[in-house]
Structure 1
Amino acid sequence: MAQTPFAPGLHLLLDLYGATHLDAVAELECVLRRAAERAGATVIASHFKHFGGGGGVTGLVLLAESHISIHTWPEIGFAAVDIFMCGAARPDLAWQEIEAALKPTRTHLSRIERGTDHLNQASHPAL
Structure 2
Amino acid sequence: MKTLGRHLVAEFYDCDAKKLDDVEAIQRAMKAAVVEVKATVVGELYYHYEPHGVTGTILIAESHVSVHTWPESGYAAVDIFTCGGLDPRPGFRSLMRDLGAGSCRVQELLRGLEDDVDQAHPISPEEVIIVSRVAPLMTAD
- So what's the TM-score if we normalise by structure 1? 0.86
Unaligned runs of 5+ in 1: none
The count of residues paired between Structure 1 and Structure 2 equals 120
Is 2:55–2:66's contact at 8 Å kept on the other side of the alignment? yes
Matched, 1:91 2:88: yes
Aligned match of 1:18? 14
Matched, 1:79 2:69: no
Matched, 1:59 2:47: no
- Change in CA separation of 1:124 and 1:91 when aligned onto 2, cut-off 3 Å: farther
- Matches of residues 1-127 of structure 1 in structure 2 within 5 Å? 5-20=1-16, 21-54=19-52, 56-115=53-112, 118-123=115-120
Q: Could you tell me how far apart the structure 2 residues matched to 1:64 and 1:19 are?
A: 29
Identity %: 35
Q: Could you tell me how far apart the structure 1 residues matched to 2:58 and 2:74 are?
A: 21
Unaligned runs of 5+ in 2: 123-141
Q: Could you tell me how far apart the structure 1 residues matched to 2:13 and 2:120 are?
A: 39
- Runs (4 or more) in structure 1 with deviation over 3 Å come to 120-125
- Change in CA separation of 1:124 and 1:94 when aligned onto 2, cut-off 3 Å: farther
C-alpha displacement of 1:119 = 2.4
The CA RMSD over aligned residues, in Å, is 1.7
